[in-house]
Amino acid sequence: MASSSSASLLAPLSSCPRSWKHHVFPTFHGADVRTNFLSHIIKELKSKAIDLFVDDDMERSKLIGPELVEAIRGSRIAIVLLSRNYASSTWCLNELVEIIKCREGFGQTVMPLFYEVDPTDVKKQTGDFGKVFRKTRKGKASEDIQRWKCALTEVAQITGYHSTNWKSEAEMIEDIVTDVSNKLNLSAPSSDFVSLVGMESKMKEMRRLLQLDSNEVRKIGIWGPPGIGKTTIARSLFNRHSQDFQLSVFIDNIKTKYAIPASSDDYSVKLYLQRQLMSQLTNETCISISHLGVVKDRLKDKKVLVVLDDVDHLVQLEAMAKETYWFGPGSRIIITTQDQRVLKASGINHIYKVNLPSNDEALQMFCMYAFDQKYPKDGFKELACEVRRRLVGELPLGLKVMGSNFQGMSEQDWTEALPRLRFHLDRDGEIASILKFSYDSLNDEDKILFLYIACFFSGERFNMVERCLEKCFKDVRQGLRVLYEKSLISADSIWIKMPKLLVRLGRQIVRKESVSEPGKRQFLNDANDIGEVLSDDKAASFEIGIFIAVLERTFERLSNLQFIRILGRGVNPLSMNYVSQKLKVLIWPMFPMSCFPPRFNPEFLVVLHMTNSSREKLWEENKLLKVRGFSGQHQLGIYYTSQPLRLLFVEKLSCESLERLDLSFRNPDIRINFRNCFKLNEEARDLIIHTPTNQYAVFPAEEVPMCFTYRSSGSSLTLKLNQMPLGKSTKFKACIIFASNALTACYKPVKGISPGHLYTFEVEVETEDVTSNELVFEFEYELESYNSRRWKIVIKECGILPLLEPSDKEI
């Protein structure tokens, strides 16, 4: 008998169904509860459309057969009704063993009901319950007895219902049935997020971070700008995986619902937040939290899934999920936030950065909300593309709200709605209210920096923005870091970008500074507003302007104008004679004159960007152009008369006709790009190489110049240490030349990689711990192509030039 019992109970769990056959499986001792307490529970459960496995027609024996095992494994919830004589039945005990096995094997929910019996007596098999068990175990196989004891101990430690805690059985039954219903609702398979564009790929990436098969307790951050879909990703994860945990909770919109009062003390805030967590996690509305150890005490042995959505203060995390040891093995804590600093301060290393969707995905998202399909309806393609591209950008919140706004509209309705939406983020203000919450959380200086980027600098180079605004802020780099960590901009080492809807928010905020008098605003972006200001005789104080058409003397009274972008061909180029001496940035594609007008000579210029212009020289006469940052394109040519051009902060200068240089500076660290300047003479090339502040340079060259002390073919070079003295560290100027066929393996040209050009850069070697008598330099360059394949670029030659320390130079 023992062997057959063991065979039945130890059937492999791999055969357990994942599509549930029953909602609830009840295990009970019939003589104790069938006609009273249990009958009422069954009636209430059925009244709420909850399906139970009923074994009335089964012939009970000492063993549970395959049909019963299948019923247990096919039930989402197992109710264990523990009464005084429950342990008198080996049938009940064997059912319990199978239930505990299913709980541990695939997360079946187990709800113990202690009916007129103490949980401690069940756990330790003592009292009246223990007497019954000891009688049952007589003559049974020791392995069966041990299994029963383990199952009773395990079930007694699961949070359940104790009949002595309720005034009446009716109230207890009502609470039990409500709890069962809620658990079933939470565990019901969801298709809410199945059709969302790009969600499956996000789930795949998130599961790699979650490591759900691991028993470690792991905290995971989901980080990104407001409206990008962090909450949606977290909800999708929760819906898919909450049933695999003993307890689970999704606490949404913490930033708004549980905002931290400025005058509150941390301890009170933490007690309050812990009470919210435990109340929602255990479904106890009147739970009492007297100290901060309650979470750890209640959850340290529970496998839980906790989602803390939209966290914006560290104290929120410290209250609800400070330490991983507060939770049982296998627990997962997911935090969504737009503030990276909260995650870093909490020591969370597993972070999923939510990026904007691609253009194609963004259009599909918009169409799903506007047309209930992933592509525009007939006749709406141009309108849908215009709204998506010009008004919304790629932010999912905007795509959802704007798409829903247009749902069911005719083409004429769309056309009539567009002009108003160009000035307002959305019809009902939903987008603006969500995004502005993030702007309002900034301090005053960071708010101003946000507006600078929204109105002018989104899409510009990081170092250009830093130099342009360094005099306007105490620490512009720190301000940019704050905006990045709060997900209001994206930034790499080169570019700063802001989502289009945040750009529109910033410009809308500036517009509201003075709706009726545009000239009083700090920045102007709209052509109509600029036209109104320029037609007025009053002086205007704005710093930023984007111009489409102006007359010759238009800029004369705009004394504070520092940042200019010219669009179109309606601006008189002679107007540059009257531009403010404060000018820092001039961006004018297709500048129509062959040279600057004579009175244009800015003293504080940082960026001069004139792509596709007609310029052939700077001025008719010789002048020194002081440019702190210079950006240009292939068509820009500079010719010289008697004096060479001095450039005081060259960033990029592609001039096919450039021959001579005078880099007369020593202090600023510079990066020089002379790509395609094939006429550079040898003196100019040597000057570029030997410029001590030159961090990086590019210019045409077919071979490594002789001034490099050590040269080699290929990508490797060995330097004998006995050939030169070494300090604790030694700096070198290094160079590489790409082979002419370096990019033949790629399917399209790669920006920034030019065969037939010399690339120079500095290398510092820590030589203090070097034990060999030689240094080996290995140069390697890889890039990732459009199809995510990595390509190694072929290096034709390389070179090394030791850089002497100042003391060595003096000697």
Q: Could you list the active site residues?
A: 95
Residues forming a β-bridge with 571: 550
State the Cα–Cα distance between residues 253 and 171, nearest whole angstrom: 32
State the Cα–Cα distance between residues 256 and 259, nearest whole angstrom: 5
With tokens 């001496």, the residue in question is 581
Whether residue 273 contacts residue 320, with contact meaning beta carbons closer than 8 Å, is answered with yes
Residue 254 DSSP class: H
Angle subtended by helix axes 500-511 and 396-406, to nearest 10: 80
Whether residue 596 contacts residue 618, with contact meaning beta carbons closer than 8 Å, is answered with yes
Residue type, 303: K
State the Cα–Cα distance between residues 538 and 544, nearest whole angstrom: 17
- The SS3 of residue 79 is strand
State the Cα–Cα distance between residues 148 and 245, nearest whole angstrom: 24
Inter-CA distances, 61 with 98, 131, 257, 714, 782, Å: 16, 22, 55, 83, 71
Query: Long-range CB contacts (< 8 A, 24+ apart) of 277-280?
Result: 277/249, 277/251, 277/306, 277/319, 277/320, 280/249, 280/251
- The SS3 of residue 588 is coil
Inter-CA distances, 731 with 585, 691, 695, 759, 766, Å: 35, 14, 12, 17, 9
- The SS3 of residue 55 is coil
Sheet with 585-587, strands from edge to edge, namely: 523-524, 544-550, 563-571, 585-587, 607-609, 630-631
User: In this structure, what token pair is assigned to residue 225?
Assistant: 């700008």
Residues forming a β-bridge with 123: none
The CA R_g of the chain, rounded to the nearest whole Å, is 36
Residues forming a β-bridge with 332: 218, 305
Q: What's the distance, CA 18 to chain centroid?
A: 33
First to last CA, the chain: 99
State the Cα–Cα distance between residues 397 and 684, nearest whole angstrom: 53
One DSSP character per residue, 160-194 reads: -EEGGGSS-HHHHHHHHHHHHHHHHHHHS---TTT
HEC sequence for 670-687: EEEECCCCCCCCHHHHHH
State the Cα–Cα distance between residues 108 and 269, nearest whole angstrom: 35
State the Cα–Cα distance between residues 810 and 145, nearest whole angstrom: 90
Q: Tell me which residue of 64, 78, 72, 69 sits closest to 24, measured CA to CA.
A: 78
Residue type, 317: L
With tokens 């601006």, the residue in question is 571
Backbone φ and ψ of 748, nearest 5°? -150, 160
Inter-CA distances, 656 with 10, 198, 630, 659, 666, Å: 81, 45, 16, 9, 26
State the Cα–Cα distance between residues 641 and 632, nearest whole angstrom: 21
Whether residue 370 contacts residue 262, with contact meaning beta carbons closer than 8 Å, is answered with no
Residues forming a β-bridge with 259: none
